[in-house]
Structure 1
Amino acid sequence: MEAGEEFGPWLARQLRLAGKSQAELAEELGLTRAAVSAWITKRSVPRPTVMVEIAKALGTDLGTVHTRTTDTQVGLPVTWYHRPGYHDGGRDGGNAAAFAFDADVQVLARETCQNSLDERLAENGRPVRVRYTIHELTGEMLDAFRKAILWDDLHPHYSSVSQTASHQKVGRVVDAGVRDMFEKGRLVLLRIDDYNASGLTGDDYDDGKFAAVVRRQLESLKSGRGAGGSYGLGKATLWATSALGMVLINSTLSVPHEGRTERRVIGRLELPWRSVDGEAYAGPAWLGRPDPDSPGAQVARSWWADEETVASLHLTRDSDEPGTSFLIVGAHDVASLDQGTVDLDADDEDGADDDGTRDVRAMHRRLVEALGRDFWAAMTGGGNRLPLLETSVRTLRNGEVVIEEEKVDPTVTQPSRTRALRAFYEGTTVDRLTEAGQVALRTVPFKLPLAGGRRGTLGTHQAVLLVTDAEDADGVPNQVHSLRGNRMTIKKSGVAGLPLGVNAFQAVLLTGHAAGDSVPFVEEAEDFLRAAEPPEHDRWGQTEELTLRWSHTAHHRISRLTTEVNSAVKELVAKPKRSAGEGGTKLRKALTVPRKTATPRRAAGPSLPELDGLEASIGDAGEWRITAEVKLPRAEELPTMTPTVLLDVRSGSRPRLDWAELVAVDGCEVENGVLRFSPGARRAVFRGSTDVTSHPVRTALTRLVLELRAGKGE
């Protein structure tokens, strides 16, 4: 059998775990303390006959002493360690990082899949495989799981949080999660397994991936090529999705730690400040083995678990391939609750709660949708380019299959964009679209600024634009999906000012490493665009990092890139429509753009900017997303204008909606909801999204009216 950790360090840790000194072990073995010290310091190793006696002294078998791939099961037991309250009386109402995200499995899929992509072992050329398992527990399996996580030890802490739930948002969520588990007799586990990934390597406390994920907040160690994350916030979605604030972890390491790689286990609990039996606790807690090197052996560290323990925690992995399994305990998805009205299968007669069945089915469907929408490019290969990612979703109840494992197929979820990317990889693109199914390619210049606020251009990165015919399965037509190195969709936007009669299309913009490793200034483009992304990584624009590292006007380079992309798209698709379709009719029914006659000009007054084009779609949250183009008259000074969004009604005044976001794209600036146009500009483009809370009715049942009003729009 192949030995794991070196004997000396392994023996030293076993003595600490068992609470024995070197002198006590020497006395039990009938040897001198110097002999034991020589083993600990790696100056010698014991004879085979002595190994037998050491195993007896440690209360373990001889195989464990020989292989040293796990700790002995004697000594300090696995338990929960709760961080003591702050000595200065400070209190935390929960982990602030978790408030950056909603309890939404689609957000969870985006962040966790991005993290797995960033941790992919690229040397072997294989994709990282990510599987999501929804597992509903009831009855005896639920009781057994609660026993495995030491629920009786945790119950006083949850009771304390429930008593103060009215004062804390996190407390209210946790209280509802506990009540749901006991009143409905069910608990939903959501496990994310990745394979061919690095795993949580490094020490429990020192700098490394393990400490960054398990011990620390707002720390990101990602600096590799094309890395998606940069804020250290993505891991918070794991705990945000747990109604109990609990995540259990089992990692198989790509680099040995303490001589081992398999079944490195730890749990982390995120609760607000609480008082239990007169003792104050700060918030987080860890499930692990008490560290004998910590004061009083109080701090819990990861441990090398046996297969039985891992199985009881529902953390058994399929193979010894490196990667990590995250188990979200008490997974909840607010959006799934709203959509949980899908029909049950006819054979679903096992007596499970109907509401629970709908919840997990809706959760399954939303995970598949999110993975196909955001990671279609990472799952696409062609030519000499292999896919970076494989994803699947399955749903279980008490170990039995509810929904078979469903592998996400990008050719089904995004057929047009997948066709475009594959044509790029295979070198079958054309200069202009002349036949159905073709993919046109254009390079678009992206001029990168000098860092440190210096004026000038560092260089020009040639982004790649791909345009092809749209298919019904793609979703909203006439969209540009923009991505960079890890091939996750970052930005989705419409194209303003499209000429009438164009055929529906889909476009893909490849930047950074996604455009090709040999493209000039590829690393600089990756660095700049990563800095231009907010924590959600769903757009490019002004950020604090962009301002600090480049300048407060650096985001204008992205606006110019958008303008160049839109111009290239319009040039590629501008041609008469070959057949009468209903796309234009649908657009006219859904959108109303007042023209010159809608707002009569005063006879002697100055010329006013006019709306000249509008693209609109309904977002995932039910908001209207618009991109509008404004035609500007020739004038030395243009008046300010206010975009006003209304709902069209048959009679009475039109309800006015609020803007959730309103940003300038080109030729203008937005200040407190008012457009100020750039001197000398002939056209301007802005985009925005409405505030769903201001919608009086469901968005899909409404028609949008956009008006451009002079001044502040009163």
Structure 2
Amino acid sequence: MDTESFGDWLGRQLRRQGMSQAELATQINVTRAAVSAWVTNRAEPQMNKIQLIESVLGLSSGSVVSRQEPGTSAEALTWYHRPAHDDGGREFGNAAAFAFDSDLSVLAREATQNSMDERLENDEPVRVRHILDEIEGERLYDFLEALRWNEIEPHVDAAALADNKVGRILADGLKGLRQTGRLLLLRIDDYNAAGLTGPDYDDGRFAAVTRRQLESRKQGEGAGGSYGLGKATFWATSRLGFVLINSTLSEPHQGRTANRMFGRLELPWHRAVGGEWSGPAWFGEPDPERGNVTRSWWGDDETAERLLLKRDGSAPGTSFLIIGAHDPSGDADDLESMHEALVKGLASSFWAAMVAPSQQRPMLEASVVARRNGVVVIPEERIDPDVHEPTRSRALRAFLEGRTVSEPTTRDDVVQVSVPLQVPPLKSAGKAPAVTHDAVLLLAQDDTTPRRPSRLVCMRSSRMVVMDRGVPDLPIGVDPFQAVLLAGEAVGVDAPGAKEAEQFLRTAEPPEHNDWKRTDDLVTSYARGAASSIRNFRAAMLEEVRRALRPSEQQNGDGPASLTGLLDLGGSRSQGGGLRYPVVDDVEGNIDADGAWHVRAEVRLPAKDDAWLLTPVLRFATRSGPKPEARWAQLVPESHCELTAEGALLFAAGARKAAFSGISDVSSHPVAARMAIAEIDLQHVKESAE
């Protein structure tokens, strides 16, 4: 809570209005000495004088008691440009913006990570909304007028003349604005977040985001960011280097919480308007106590509306408006492709944060919408993890609901195994012992025919995906799968060693937060062996994946225990959990003395009245590449199906289950049956028109 004294508050109000203590004394009929005593906190006025002070200063009733800062009129807003350094030093761009390759997916990742790190109520999700809005005509002119574009345009023009990367981006942004008469905005809102709390200049969230570089205020072990680089992606995504901010605070500053507004323009060094300028500029209220640099202001709803920054409701959080938004990678260049890029970026990095057990809310809810002049052209799409990552989401939900198994008995089972992580002591802890933490590895068969099957993703407390990698040297014939590794507090805040592992892994992440590896911070913070511990952990997780997928040895000497790795038609399950296509449900098999497979398969059929014409295909699994087929020597329909002249099976209309058996043609085997794993695939047959 704000603890500002009456004297400090009154002195600031007098300076804001350019009023002396003597002038106030005259207007409220007290001595100058009395006002001096108030300002220096040696005394406080009586209630009748407090009411007079509010009237003279034009403040609302109760402002003196609440220490509430008055709002700022739009006419009082202006720009402050930082003068060039007297020592001749020049910066031709913000180095933090080039710390890693930037595109819309990186922006979505960094912005959402920051929002999750500031989550306020743990039993409610952080709500993040991305709004693309292309404006033109009167809406554009009114917007540019509200942000005093005429005051900064000469500076942007001058900076765009620089023959460097930043200058070329600015020139391209200005050209697009002037030739098309349109401006693309990207607004990122978060709710149930702390907001930009703290003073304008001293330590706090506000100053860290708007005034400082490479400062992270995230001190908890579970925080995603730690370098203070993520905020630079906002400005890197603007062709004009321009971001406006509106924040609703979780704790009052100057007696207020709503509509704390500010703007920052990130330019390189340039000459303009009769001087040399360092580059950065800030949009706000002039601060006479700081030589008229600009500070944040308390706006009203009308100003927020004109600046396209009016927030929905009163929930704490922050809105960032990126002006002249673009995809720095060049891959997305219109509303439709940018909308798609944001959706994919959010889904790939944060699907796990959007998964929750039944009857509980997730950690995160995220959506993307696109507009033109405020009119929706692409409806708001809320990211659904079960649509974008169905297998991984199923695996994580099984863990959260306590439904994992150690050995699978059905295709839908999620296997859980442990991966040990040895956390060495911090150097500051002296000779403290290492801590063992058991990370959780989840494996699920992938029935969704993804573009990138058989991969491992890793995460910690916020459940943002840190690593996404393939698994080499898999056993021959392994079915497509997805593996999810949870470490640190993602296992559970009370899990043994979770806190230590969380801090250790956070220290092992590079600025991009996309790996766990040796970093300078890791080796300087932890005792000897920290880098080896990370390498061993990475190796152990891959080995545990391979071990869990390795087929069990045959006990009766008749070849593989069964036809493992059964394939069904891609996308066989609907989003609601029902079948869309027939699926092989159960198979029994053995190899006879001649080396032929004898199999019996049961098939589950969708709840439809139509008949299904399908061809059972017998495949021999190989380590990589296509799985060669073997022919059937004999195919026998057993129940609810019949064999056609072409060798396909016609499954009866309305049947829910069927069965067939078959014997493989040994002469067509690509390898000996005992040296491979067989799989059955059901392929749809198109009936020819008569």
Query: Is this a same-fold pair by TM over 0.5?
Result: yes
Shift of 1:33: 1.9
1:22-101, aligned counterparts within 5 Å? 22-40=21-39, 43-48=43-48, 51=51, 53-55=52-54, 57-59=56-58, 69-71=68-70, 73=72, 77-101=76-100
Aligned partner of 2:492 in structure 1 is 516
Written as runs of structure 1 = structure 2, the 5 A alignment for 1:130-145 is: 130-145=128-143
1:528 aligns with 2:528: no
How far did 1:37 drift? 3.6
Match of 2:298 among 304, 329, 341: 304
Structure 2 contact 390–448 (Cα < 8 Å) conserved? no
Q: Alpha-carbon deviations, 1:60-83, whole Å to 9, x = none? A: 665867876442547992111111
Q: Measured at CA, do residues 556 and 5 of structure 1 come closer, stay the same or move farther in structure 2, by a change above 3 Å?
A: closer
Distance 1:139 1:4, change over 3 A: farther
Give, as a single letter, the amino acid of the residue that structure 1 aligns with 2:331.
Answer: D
Residue 210 (structure 1) aligned with residue 212 (structure 2): no
User: Matches of 1:75 and 1:20 in 2, distance apart?
Assistant: 21
Separation in 2 of the partners of 1:148 and 1:257? Answer: 25
Distance in 1 between residues matched to 2:202 and 2:412, nearest whole Å = 53
Q: Percent identity?
A: 49
> CA separation of 1:431/1:269 partners in 2, compared to 1, >3 Å: closer, same or farther?
same
CA-CA distance at 1:34 after TM superposition: 3.2
Pair member with larger Rg: 2
Amino acid at match of 2:270: R
Partners of 2:65 and 2:620 lie apart in 1 by 72
- In 1, distance between residues paired with 2:394 and 2:34? 69
In structure 2, C-alpha distance between the alignment counterparts of 1:318 and 1:9, rounded to whole Å: 33
Alpha carbons 2:71, 2:298 under 8 Å: kept: no
Report the CA distance between 1:397 and its aligned residue.
1.1
Q: 1:485 aligns with which of 453, 456, 461?
A: 461
2:576 aligned with 1:577: no
Are 2:302 and 1:326 aligned? no
Q: Which amino acid aligns with 2:307?
A: L
In structure 1, what is the Cα distance between the partners aligned to 2:187 and 2:399? Answer: 35
2:310 counterpart of 1:316: yes
Q: CA deviation at 1:241?
A: 0.5
The answer to whether the Cα contact below 8 Å between 1:265 and 1:304 also exists between their aligned partners in 2 is: yes
State the alpha-carbon separation in 2 of the partners of residues 577 and 252 from structure 1: 53
Residues 59, 74 of structure 1: 8 Å contact kept: no
How many Å apart are 1:553 and its aligned residue? 5.2
- Structure 1: unaligned runs, 5 residues or longer: 341-358, 591-714
Give the secondary-structure state (helix, strand or coil) at the position aligned to 2:533.
Answer: helix
Give the partner amino acid of 1:302: S
Q: In 2, Cα distance between the equivalents of 1:419 and 1:427?
A: 12
In structure 2, relative to structure 1, the CA distance for the partners of 1:158 and 1:540 (3 Å cut) is same
Deviations 1:583-637 (A, max 9, x none): 96895269xxxxxxxxxxxxxxxxxxxxxxxxxxxxxxxxxxxxxxxxxxxxxxx
Q: Is the 8 A contact 2:66 2:255 kept in 1?
A: no
Q: 5 Å matches for 1:655-670? A: none
Is 1:538 the counterpart of 2:514? The answer is yes
Distance 1:394 1:76, change over 3 A: closer
Q: Is the 8 A contact 1:131 1:393 kept in 2?
A: yes
Q: 1:361 aligns with which of 315, 336, 348?
A: 336
- The equivalent residue for 1:465 is 441
Residue among 379, 383, 396 paired with 1:421: 396
Q: Are 2:541 and 1:547 aligned?
A: no
The aligned residue for residue 558 of structure 1 is: 534
C-alpha contact 1:58 1:72 (8 A) present in aligned 2: no
Match of 1:504 among 476, 480, 486: 480
**Superposition map of 1:116-135 within 5 A:** 116-123=115-122, 125-135=123-133
Provide the residue aligned with 1:290 in structure 2. Answer: 286
TM-aligned CA deviation for residue 57 of structure 1: 3.2
Judged with a 3 Å threshold, the aligned counterparts in structure 2 of structure 1 residues 522 and 62 are, in CA distance, closer, same or farther, namely closer
Query: Matched residues in 2 for 1:239 and 1:181: separation?
Result: 17
Q: Which amino acid aligns with 2:281?
A: A
Aligned partner of 2:651 in structure 1 is none
CA distance in 1 between counterparts of 2:619 and 2:126 reads 41
* Matches of 1:23 and 1:289, distance apart in 2: 25
- Compared with structure 1, are the counterparts of its residues 325 and 73 closer, same or farther at alpha carbon in structure 2 (3 Å cutoff)? closer
TM superposition shift of 1:38: 4.7
CA deviation after TM superposition for structure 1 residue 562, in Å: 2.4
CA contact (8 A) 2:72 2:285 kept: no
Q: TM-score, normalised by structure 2?
A: 0.77
**Does the aligned pair in 2 maintain the 1:243–1:331 contact within 8 Å?**
yes
Q: Could you tell me which amino acid in structure 1 is paired with residue 519 of structure 2?
A: T
Q: In the aligned structure 2, how far is the partner of 1:181 from the partner of 1:243?
A: 10
Q: Distance in 1 between matches of 2:274 and 2:152?
A: 16
For 2:194, the equivalent position in structure 1 comes to: 198
Q: Which runs of 5+ in 2 are unaligned?
A: 552-563, 568-616, 628-690
Counterpart residue type for residue 394 of structure 1? V
CA distance in 2, matches of 1:572, 1:504: 13
Q: Compute the displacement of 1:427 (Å).
A: 0.8
The match for 1:439 is: 414
SS in 2 for 1:525: helix
- Closer/same/farther in 2, CA of residues 480 and 329 from structure 1, 3 Å limit: same
Match of 1:344 in 2: none
| Aligned residue type for 1:33 | R
Kept in 2: contact 1:448–1:457 (CA 8 A): no
SS at match of 1:172: helix
Shift of 1:449: 2.4
**Cα deviation code 1:484-519 (max 9, x no counterpart):** 011100001111111111111101000000011222
Q: CA deviation at 1:339?
A: 4.7
CA distance in structure 2 between the partners assigned to 1:59 and 1:119 by the alignment: 36
Residue 451 of structure 1: CA displacement? 3.5
Equivalent position of 2:369 in the other structure: 394
Aligned to 1:652: none
Deviations 1:321-355 (A, max 9, x none): 111111111111144x5355xxxxxxxxxxxxxxx
| 8 Å CA contact 1:127, 1:390 repeated in 2 | yes
The corresponding residue for 1:412 is 387
Give the counterpart letter for 2:207 in structure 1: A
The one-letter code matched in structure 2 to 1:306 is D
Please tell me whether the aligned partners of residues 4 and 259 of structure 1 are also in contact (alpha carbons under 8 angstroms): no
2:621 & 2:229 partners in 1: Cα distance? 42
Q: What is the rounded CA distance, in whole Å, between the counterparts of 1:146 and 1:534 in structure 2?
A: 38
Matched-pair contact (CA < 8 Å) for 2:423–2:436: yes
Distance 1:74-1:390 versus aligned 2 partners, 3 A rule: closer
Deviation at 1:472, TM superposition (A): 2.6
CA-CA distance at 1:474 after TM superposition: 4.7
Query: In the TM superposition, what is the alpha-carbon distance from 1:304 to its structure 2 partner?
Result: 1.0
Question: Shift of the alpha carbon at 1:556?
Answer: 2.5
- From 150, 153, 160, the counterpart of 2:151: 153
Return the offset for 1:430: 0.8
Give the match's secondary structure for 1:378. helix
Instruction: Call closer, same or farther: CA 1:548–1:484 in 2, change over 3 Å.
Output: same
Query: How far apart are 1:24 and its partner, in Å?
Result: 1.1
Q: Distance in 1 between matches of 2:566 and 2:280?
A: 62
Q: State the SS of the aligned residue for 2:331.
A: helix
What is aligned with 1:588?
625
